[in-house]
Amino acid sequence: MFAVWITTLSLLDAARGGQVCYKRLGCFTDNPPWSGIPERQLAGLPSPPEAVNTNFLLYTRDNIMKYQISATNTSTIKASNFQIHRKTRFIIHGHLAGADFSWITDMCRFMFHVEDVNCILTDWRGGSSGLYTEAVNNVRIVGAEGKDLFLTDKDYGYSPAKIHLIGHSLGAHAAGEAGRRKPGIGRITGLDPAGPLFQYTPTMVRLDPSDAKFVDIIHTHAGHLFFDFGILQTCGHLDFYPNGGKTMPGFNLSYLDFSPEYRSVGCGHKRSLQYYAESIITPNGFVGYQCETYRDFVSGACFPCPKEGCPLMGHYADKFSHKTGKEQQKVFLNTGPLPPYARKCSFWVLQMMLISKVTMNSIRTNTSLAYRNPQQLVSGVQHKIWSFTCVRNMHYQHYPGNAEIIIETDQLMGTSFELKALLNFVNEVMTLKIL
């Protein structure tokens, strides 16, 4: 993928002002903001719909094997297992889906374990398998094709509010294009929306909160560089940044390590798909905390959850949709390096004030955990803080007269644990050991 993207950088087309028109889908130009702006200098027009070859593959509990439906042939919808009483979730793949395609189709089957839905895979590999810049231009065709299908659904009395578009990479912006063309879409989920040629572009070009009633984003390979395949800026009502949104645990690749795995998936770019798939069958697994920055989150400044609760990353993010009073809310959480990725992460800051006379066995403390009552910590004794299973990181700082310990913990869902700590003092320097 990297080699393909670098090649596209040299394909600068100075001629602009072109236009192509296609029956059913309308006209497309390469005028600004589609090209010729600082964030998108490359010009180009989308390929013909026949070349993009957008197919809609319907899966339901009644037919777990694909069934193709078409906006231009309504008899295919009438003959299918599409039911108007169900929600409809579209999954839209990104650039060079290829090897990941069968894995993406499995997401529909995950959904059938927890809900009865119409699950439609939007297959546009004909338009996404070439140069990245060509695929970027073809996003508009995919969005227009989707809007055409939505209009057909309307003829059956199907409300767009029951439609959920799930797009990965370029597929996220295709979902945004469909939502821009068809107001009233219920929800769009962007799985690490593509960054190159979309970052900081006008909202008409990229996914943004106006494209649906509720837009949630998962950032997993975000950044400002061309090597960062995901978009860094907020572009939804809720933007989730697991592990800070840039580097995912379990990958040790640098920007200079162009291994086959890096080239094919962009390191953490595909991880957003895996997080979403796991979230379908882990309803309370990916709890996020609203924060301004990841540094604030790591410091423990964003705990505990407010009265209205904390949002959930992934499939069940819409449980929090009625509580989003504003757009572009940042949400942070941590995940594990390997499946299962879901962790209930907690950061507790223990501010321990040293008193005039300290013994080897105990210290009087003020804690900023779930409450602020003084608590006695004794070596070798279990102390119920809240519930967590293991300590990932512990940061210790000692100052004259006080000490601060920041403990980051992971909790696997459905488990509980009591902290067992050993306090030691050597030359008035306190250390804490988790037993």
318 and 366: one domain?
Answer: no
Banded model confidence at residue 148, pLDDT cuts 50, 70, 90: confident
Mean pLDDT of all residues in 157-176: 96
CA dihedral angle for residue 97, residue 100, residue 104, residue 110, rounded to 10 degrees: -170
Q: Evaluate if residue 203 carries a pLDDT over 70.
A: yes
Same domain, 38 and 150: yes
Please choose, from the candidates 163, 165, 167, 166, the residue with its C-alpha nearest in 3D space to the C-alpha of residue 194: 167
- Give me the helices (H) in 221-366, please: 260-265, 271-280, 294-299
Say whether pLDDT at 249 is over 80: yes
Are residue 206 and residue 312 in the same domain, yes or no? yes
In a domain, 77, yes or no: yes
Q: Quick one: 315 and 365 in the same domain?
A: no
For residue range 304-322, list pLDDT tens digits in order.
788 888 899 999 999 987 6
Q: Which of 308, 199, 319, 220 is nearest to 267 (CA)?
A: 220
CA angle 410, 414, 418 (to 5 degrees): 60
Catalytic residue among 93, 173, 269, 315: 269
Position 225 scores a pLDDT of 64
Indicate the residue among 309, 333, 357 that finishes a domain. Answer: 333
Total domains in the chain come to 2
Q: Please identify which of the residues 35, 128, 169, 272 carries the catalytic annotation.
A: 169
Residue 159: alpha-carbon gap to chain centroid: 26
Summarised one tens digit per residue, pLDDT across range 169-202 is: 999 999 999 999 999 999 999 999 999 999 999 9
| pLDDT at position 85 | 94
Whether 145 and 54 have beta carbons less than 8 Å apart is answered as yes
User: Domain check: are 267 and 325 in the same one?
Assistant: yes
Same domain? For 123 and 246 the reply is yes
Q: Band the pLDDT of 399: cuts 50, 70, 90.
A: very low
Q: How confident is the model at residue 103 (pLDDT cuts 50, 70, 90)?
A: confident
Average pLDDT, stretch 238-266?
67
Question: Is 224 an annotated catalytic residue?
Answer: no
Provide the domain limits for residue 248: 2-333
Is 228 annotated to bind a ligand? Reply is no
Which DSSP letter does residue 194 get?
A: B
- Residue 66 — pLDDT band, cuts 50, 70, 90? confident
| pLDDT tens, position by position, 266-287 | 668 889 999 999 999 998 889 9
Residues 131 and 251 in one domain: yes
Please indicate, yes or no, whether residues 368 and 288 belong to a single structural domain of this protein.
no
Which residue in the list 153, 192, 318, 410 is annotated as catalytic? 192
Q: Is 211 labelled as part of a ligand binding site?
A: yes
Q: Is 163 helix (H, G, I), strand (E, B) or coil?
A: strand
Query: Domain boundary at 333, 356, 378, which?
Result: 333
Higher model confidence: residue 100 or residue 305?
305
Inside any domain, residue 102:
yes
262 and 364, same structural domain? Answer: no
- 380 and 399, same domain (yes or no): yes
Residues 311-366 pLDDT 10s: 999 999 999 876 666 668 999 998 888 888 987 544 433 333 332 233 333 333 33
Q: Which CATH number belongs to the domain containing residue 57 in this structure?
A: 3.40.50.1820
Q: Is 169 a catalytic residue?
A: yes
At residue 59, what are phi and psi to the nearest 5 degrees? -125, 140
What pLDDT band is residue 412 in, cutting at 50, 70 and 90? very low
Residue 408 CA to residue 252 CA, distance in Å, equals: 21
338 belongs to a structural domain: no
Residue 339 is assigned to a structural domain of this protein: no
| In-domain check, residue 405 | yes
For the chain, what percent of residues have pLDDT higher than 70? 67
> How confident is the model at residue 305, as a pLDDT?
80
pLDDT, residue 342, reads 87
Q: Which positions ≥6 away from 257 have C-beta within 8 Å?
A: none
Question: Are 162 and 279 contained in the same domain?
Answer: yes
Of 281, 314, 333, which residue constitutes the final position of a domain? 333
227 confidence band (pLDDT: 50, 70, 90): low
Q: Are residues 355 and 317 in the same domain?
A: no
pLDDT score of 37: 94
> Which SS3 state, helix, strand or coil, does residue 404 take?
strand
pTM of the model: 0.78
